[in-house]
Amino acid sequence: MKALKKLFVAALALSLPLATLAQATEAAKPAEAAPAAAPAPAAKPAEETIKVTPYGFVLLNAYWDGNTLVNKDYPGQAARAGTNEGGAFLMSARQSRVGMRLATSGDNWTGAALTGVIEFDFKAGHVGVAPQASTTWYNGLMRLRLAAMTATWKTPYGNWAVLAGQEYGLVNPLFAESLAWVADPLFWQAGNLWRRSPQIRLSYNGQFDMVGLSLAAAMLSPADAGQPVDNGYGNRSRTPNFEARGAVSVKAAPDISGTVGVGYHMQTRRYNYGTPDQKDVDGYMLGVDADLNLTQFLQVKGEYYTGKGADDTYNTIGAPTVQTDPPYAKVKGDGYWAQGIIKPLPQLWLTIGYGKAKMDDGDLGFVAAANQAATRFENTQLAGGVLVNAGKFWRFGVEAMQVETKYLVGADQKATQIALSSQLKF
């Protein structure tokens, strides 16, 4: 028994150093590495989207006409003597406008920033077949105004852009300030050239300290008084209209700035197509525009134009502008408008302006005697108003205009219009 105890003690004494050595060896082993984390999934490219921003306004106008206007909701022409003489009262919401601005968020291989616009109003006429009863007046048909996309490349020395779509022309792009005469703009037919046209346009805009430079050139779809609607005299020439404009802007102080531009238009029309008298006739239009902020209380803007054989392209009083048979005489036209906008308070603006359009009556000798009484050779508009800016979204005002129209035959005619307007912008 004693021998067994001695043997057990000896075995225990021998095992203790071995156990200590085993523990040291186990501790010396490096810790087992944790499994590697799985690689993070690759980030997905940002989704390409188009941002759509609606804009426009709801506009109501009430018109009181003194004497007879050819169009009761726009004082563009005083009717000649003996044609439905008398005043009128009319209300209209047809100048209301709705549009969408588009902007893309994705990249494209050209490196261009892409934007677009599409815009409508309700001045395309009325439901039904003319002449319609006045009960159809409120049924204003929607009309396409603008539909264009623009690709812009930004560079250290300025921005280059290509526009494709329907936009305003390049000659005399300004408009007078008004709530009463918007879709049919103030001083239209009295010195204010304007057109919208499908076109392809290349433009450049650069800013050099306080001076800005803008250059543009465009190829446009022909437009004139020829019929049918898709094949006028310009279309038959198989030649686009061409336009160019250059402008310089200066910002001398926070409240003192201005822009002056010069534009040029050229076109070709084909008369008596397919006959022995067929002839191509060229026309042109030259315009100068200026928009000057003289102080925070006064803005002055206006335009001047002169041209030959092209007035109907730009919606002036010229009709006709080219004799449609030999010798194809071209009519010279010129005009101007100017407006002062006095801003005694941000909430209150006062406007006063004058415009005049004139055709060279000596060039209108080819007009048939039967048509001379209805042919205008001069039109003027004198307009003023009080506009109230009631906030970011609401404007209203009262405006008045006198129009004087001169015909080739007969007495000069005058008419007036007073307008009350309310506009909700969005």
Q: Is 41 left (phi over 0), alpha (psi -120 to 50) or beta?
A: beta
* DSSP H stretches of helix in 194-309: 233-236
With 70 as the cut, is the pLDDT of residue 26 above it? no
Three-state SS string across 72-96, please? CCEEEEECCCCCCCCCEEEEECCCC
With 60 as the cut, is the pLDDT of residue 271 above it? yes
Of the chain, the percentage scoring pLDDT greater than 90 comes to 79
pLDDT tens for 335-354 read: 999 999 999 999 999 999 99
pLDDT tens for 166-212 read: 999 999 999 999 999 999 999 999 999 999 999 999 999 999 999 99
Q: What is the DSSP string of 40-67?
A: PPPPPPPPP-EEEEEEEEEEEEEEEEES
Q: Are 79 and 45 in contact (CB under 8 A)?
A: no
Q: Please tell me the distance from the alpha carbon of residue 359 to that of residue 355, in angstroms, as a whole number.
A: 14
| Residue 80 pLDDT | 83
Tell me what percent of the chain is helix, strand and coil, each rounded to the nearest 5: 10, 50, 35
Q: Is 27 left (phi over 0), alpha (psi -120 to 50) or beta?
A: alpha
pLDDT band at 13 (very low <50, low <70, confident <90, very high): very low
pLDDT tens for 39-60 read: 666 666 667 789 999 999 999 9
- Structural domain spans, the chain: 49-127+137-425
H or E stretch at 215: strand 211-220
What is the model's pTM?
A: 0.86
CATH architecture of 49-127+137-425: Beta Barrel (2.40)
